[in-house]
Structure 1
Amino acid sequence: MGLATTHITVNAGNETGPLPHDWRFFGYDECNYTYTPEGRRMLERFSKLGDAPYYVRTHFMFCNGSCTGTQKFGSTNLYHEDAHGDPMYDFTYIDLILDTILNSGNKPYVELGFMPEDLADPSFRNNPWLGGLDPYRESGWTYPPKDYHRWHDFIRTVAQHLAERYGSEEADTWYFELWNEPDIFYWSGTGEDYCTLFDFTEQALHAVLPNARLGGPTCTGIFDQGGGRDLMQTFLEHCKTGTNAATNATGTRLDFITFHVKGAEFPRDANASKAVPSVGNLVYQVESGVELIEAAGFGNLEIVLSEADPDTWAAGGINDNANMRFRDTEYYASFVACAYQRIAEIALRYGAPIHPLAWAFVFPQEECFPATRTFATQDIVKPVFRAFDMLSRLGSHALELTSDCAANPARERELDRDYGIATPHHYSGFGAPTIVSGWAARDDAGQVQVLLYSHCDDIDVHEKRSVELRITGLQPERQYRMQHWRIDHDHSNAHTQWVEEGKPKYPAGEQYHRIKAADALESLGPEETIAADNKGTATLRFTMPTHAVSLLTFELQ
């Protein structure tokens, strides 16, 4: 019995509009990792991609602490109050973080949070459950301000510093976002408290930087029920018709809308049974959020999915839950390509940009390939970064692409009923289909690019299928130089080489160099010359494993 065949057609003569590179966003919890040697090198990798700059978001920019990076925390000691309660500012670490991002060739996505210790409502010190723990480190940074007017002055001072140091024209190219996930433990106030915080933040920021982009409410997934949906509804209603706490006017300026989407939830569980992320679950959340936003009267406003990931816990690894094994492999690359392409389809229907932001970076000094959610481990690039490398090579003019193996939303709804894919707690992937689709584009020089992915949510499905790629609209009877780049188990995959080397925790010497050499973007085969027939059509056939990403480029000779 032969391989199943997927038929894909690209019309190189039919530009369907612009192809915005809406995926040029990433972020991470630990702001102090930004300027470490590993962090700088990771930022530089993104800045060297063809569609740079990328927007960089990080947590804990306003927090107090040791100013030393640790997992899931960071600090800058930006704000203190003296013995008389007067403000004292130290921009040393804020400047270092922003300078590092800018000097790398990227752009800041400034998360305005969390609460400086001396600005926080002091009731956080009275938590009886903390015992001898540091009450600020444990929860104080999540509290509302003790005085919203002091918060207003704080934000205005920060904005003034940014305007003076970087210039308002530069700051106007950044994104500013208030807080992170205020519908869960990151915010100890109410939804109404968050709206008040937004009012004072908006008034203070735009008093100094009137053209700056400010967004919110950066809540968690928009499900049928839950805190994320409730907060989004409360926030949008407030911005549209509520009384502005800072000005007493009706409504509050909102430049873009943010929320998070995740495809799974993997808690700490050393004995966890098999579970996998779900592209359908993630897409379901995006669609639910867009529907809610349109119903609230904010349709066509730019959306940033300021954490858009296969799962919820970036710092956890394979020793915490074996199901995180996918992060080091080609599965993560095919998941991102599949999810982002489907988000792009939603954005096209919605009529405005939807930017997925990958919440992944580096963890310095970690063991090699521990399955944390990172783009590199010990300076060895993972396959998921190579997916961004491929995406960056797409041109800016979209071409028509059709596939007979594209996603089937109706089938996903059936899986949802049977296996609960819209509930990210435990999905085994059983019965999940393999989806094969992608993008086609042309750049300004006339080169045609076709990026294809094959993805199945079930990580243990290892099949091959034949792909028949038919390209029409080429110049009749002309020859094209074709290159085919591939990410799969055997290509552009340092993890595979690491396994072959015996899974060393800290590879060194020639062993390290062999693993490192395998992280480059790799061709599936040598460059070829293909010829279009007298109707301007060329047909190619090749195989794709279940989890793979291909980039084919066609340049007229």
Structure 2
Amino acid sequence: MKTEKIIVDQNTNVSFNNNVDYCVGTGRLGLALTEEYLKELKFVQDMIGFSYIRGHGLFCGDVSIYHEYEEDGITKVEYNYTYIDRIFDSFISLGIRPYLELGFMPDDLASGTQTVFYWKGNTTPPKDYKKWTDMVIALLKHLKDRYGEEVTSWPIEVWNEPNLPGFWYEADMEEYFKLFKETFNAIKSYDACFKVGGPAICGVKDAEWIQAFLDFCKKEGICPDMITRHHYTVEFPERVGHYDYSKLQDPKERFENLKSTRDIVDSFEEFKDLPIHLTEFSTSYTPKGVIHDTNINAAYLAQQLSRLGDMHEAYSYWTFGDVFEEQGVPTSLFHGGFGLVAAGNIPKPTFWTFYFFKQLKLFGSDCVYRDDNAVIVKGDCGYAGILWNIDGDDTQKEISLPIKDGEEQSLIVKTVDEETTNPLKLWHDLGEPAYPTKEETELIKSASYPAVSSSIVAPLDGLADIKIAVKRNGVVYFILSKRNFTPDRGYDYDRVISFH
């Protein structure tokens, strides 16, 4: 095991913007009508607590908002909010608000028949832009009537990945810009307090699209409230049977790609410093990307979370749970689903990466150390940090932390790695049951929680020296805080544990 030293200077202030809990992704909104979906979301909210949730399918048939009918030879429109009210009521009861992605096209309003996914979301422009904007504004009015003025704080994104022909017919840039302009102007005319962004692109020709989008906005006198894009970090996958196998890309290259978007935005005087939202990010971009269920996914994303706030006001992991059907109903418990949790509320290793970053945010905002494999913050009661190891040799971190009062410290360490927290391995060793029984589910879940260890640290010469092992593909969270020793009369711990 190799050794790495970290020396912390409490007077050093390191830039670190931890927005881990701003938003999380979901499968299409209609899935929120199912019991398993809500159980998984409640678990995630109880443990992490995201502010917003973004998903596809707001205007798709299973949510059933838009309808046309004929009366006296005239085509008329009516709206139905039964399901969307039920969905958003559930979100709000769980402490999370919608990040409104406007899409896909209702069948009655679509100009064509192209669809995407197993559930056939229509991805063609509207046959009538006035009917489209009327539908959008009617929904916003309804939401304000139901939930009050807070609705104006719910971010709005126009469409999803229009630079991909599967998500927007022929990836027609000019047609998307028309959609954005008509939608943006209609919303702002209704209530300028709403925040509206785009172009929600992913991967293909991203720089070209961002540049052209901002050129268009400048020409039309439009100022989006945020620029939105997506961020995935694998090469093109190989499909074997039901599953997709991908190689991770160099994280430095992916960060440089993100910076290119920041540079383009800031090259416009009108749009300089405009917020950029990553409304989707993950490693693999397929719902059968086997890496999602692994410990390497957790370690790789720890580094991502340590840096995504450098250039982005918001970033939304895709997705919170495995209730997801883009390529059909999942055929097995661990199927490479996007979710932080698997069916039965089994937290995957990556769940704990997000949980640790949320705990770090709650602990303190003064970052005193950050590198490619660690971030440490100082709070009122001590220090907390996250350490990770991206597919490298087992490492022992020797960390020196300044302690002013010289009093004893309690060190709590929570470890997630291939040995301590690996539900995938237990499932595999059980025979990979596609549909585990209740007993098997509970057994697999028992292997999905971090290992917790503790020790007492006595500072010397104003420094607390601690040693923490971070094994291959591991993520470790630690807290070092003042030990308040308050033994009861007659209780002697050393004597208690000395019995033979």
Match of 2:140 in 1: 159
Q: CA deviation at 1:532?
A: 2.1
Query: Residue 471 in 1 paired to residue 401 in 2?
Result: yes
Describe the shift of the 1:174–1:446 C-alpha distance in structure 2 as closer, same or farther (beyond 3 A).
farther
Query: Residue 386 in 1 paired to residue 352 in 2?
Result: yes
Query: 147-156 or 482-491, which moves further after superposition?
Result: 147-156
Report the AA paired with residue 259 of structure 1: R
Describe the shift of the 1:93–1:509 C-alpha distance in structure 2 as closer, same or farther (beyond 3 A).
closer
Deviation per residue, 1:346-372 (Å, 9 max, x gap) = 32xxxx624243345213764221222
Q: Is residue 4–residue 466 contact of structure 1 (8 Å, CA) maintained in 2?
A: yes
Match of 2:239 in 1: 269
Match of 2:300 in 1: 335
Describe the shift of the 1:506–1:554 C-alpha distance in structure 2 as closer, same or farther (beyond 3 A).
same
Match of 2:213 in 1: 235
Cα distance in 1, alignment partners of residues 464 and 479 from structure 2: 13
Match of 1:295 in 2: 267
Describe the shift of the 1:112–1:136 C-alpha distance in structure 2 as closer, same or farther (beyond 3 A).
same
Cα distance in 2, alignment partners of residues 231 and 19 from structure 1: 27
Cα distance in 1, alignment partners of residues 421 and 217 from structure 2: 46
Report the AA paired with residue 231 of structure 2: V
Query: Residue 531 in 1 paired to residue 458 in 2?
Result: yes
Query: Residue 500 in 1 paired to residue 497 in 2?
Result: no
RMSD over equivalenced CA pairs, Å:
2.6
Q: TM-score, normalised by structure 2?
A: 0.86
Q: Give the length in aligned residue pairs.
A: 467
Q: Is residue 109–residue 176 contact of structure 1 (8 Å, CA) maintained in 2?
A: yes
Describe the shift of the 1:25–1:140 C-alpha distance in structure 2 as closer, same or farther (beyond 3 A).
closer
Q: CA deviation at 1:266?
A: 4.3
Cα distance in 2, alignment partners of residues 190 and 478 from structure 1: 65
Describe the shift of the 1:259–1:46 C-alpha distance in structure 2 as closer, same or farther (beyond 3 A).
same
Cα distance in 2, alignment partners of residues 138 and 40 from structure 1: 20
Which of 472, 491, 495 aligns to 1:546? It is: 472
Q: CA deviation at 1:262?
A: 1.0
Q: CA deviation at 1:44?
A: 1.3
* SS of corresponding position for 2:396: strand
* SS of corresponding position for 2:192: coil
Structure 2 unaligned blocks of 5 or more: 325-329, 484-500
Cα distance in 1, alignment partners of residues 414 and 10 from structure 2: 19
Match of 1:147 in 2: 128
Report the AA paired with residue 257 of structure 1: I
Q: Is residue 239–residue 245 contact of structure 2 (8 Å, CA) maintained in 1?
A: no
Q: CA deviation at 1:522?
A: 2.7
Which of 143, 151, 157 aligns to 1:177? It is: 157
Q: Is residue 28–residue 58 contact of structure 1 (8 Å, CA) maintained in 2?
A: yes
Q: CA deviation at 1:438?
A: 2.2
Q: CA deviation at 1:237?
A: 1.2
Cα distance in 2, alignment partners of residues 509 and 483 from structure 1: 32
Query: Residue 448 in 1 paired to residue 383 in 2?
Result: yes
Cα distance in 1, alignment partners of residues 420 and 437 from structure 2: 22
Describe the shift of the 1:530–1:29 C-alpha distance in structure 2 as closer, same or farther (beyond 3 A).
same
Runs of 4+ with deviation above 6 angstroms:
134-140, 271-274
Q: Is residue 181–residue 220 contact of structure 1 (8 Å, CA) maintained in 2?
A: yes
Which of 98, 102, 111 aligns to 1:112? It is: 102
Q: Is residue 159–residue 208 contact of structure 1 (8 Å, CA) maintained in 2?
A: no
Query: 158-167 or 334-343, which moves further after superposition?
Result: 334-343
Q: How does 1:132-143 map to 2 (within 5 A)?
A: 141-143=122-124
Which of 43, 46, 68 aligns to 2:44? It is: 46
Structure 1 unaligned blocks of 5 or more: 68-75, 128-133, 244-250, 317-323, 407-436
Cα distance in 2, alignment partners of residues 281 and 100 from structure 1: 39
Q: CA deviation at 1:54?
A: 3.1
Match of 1:412 in 2: none
Report the AA paired with residue 301 of structure 2: V
Q: TM-score, normalised by structure 1?
A: 0.78
Q: Is residue 238–residue 244 contact of structure 2 (8 Å, CA) maintained in 1?
A: no
Match of 1:130 in 2: none
Report the AA paired with residue 401 of structure 1: Y
* SS of corresponding position for 2:262: helix
Deviation per residue, 1:45-74 (Å, 9 max, x gap) = 232235x3332111011012xx2xxxxxxx
Describe the shift of the 1:49–1:273 C-alpha distance in structure 2 as closer, same or farther (beyond 3 A).
closer
Q: CA deviation at 1:290?
A: 1.4
Cα distance in 1, alignment partners of residues 315 and 43 from structure 2: 20
Q: Between the two proteins, what is the percent identity of the paired residues?
A: 24
Describe the shift of the 1:531–1:446 C-alpha distance in structure 2 as closer, same or farther (beyond 3 A).
same
Cα distance in 1, alignment partners of residues 118 and 43 from structure 2: 32
Match of 1:100 in 2: 90
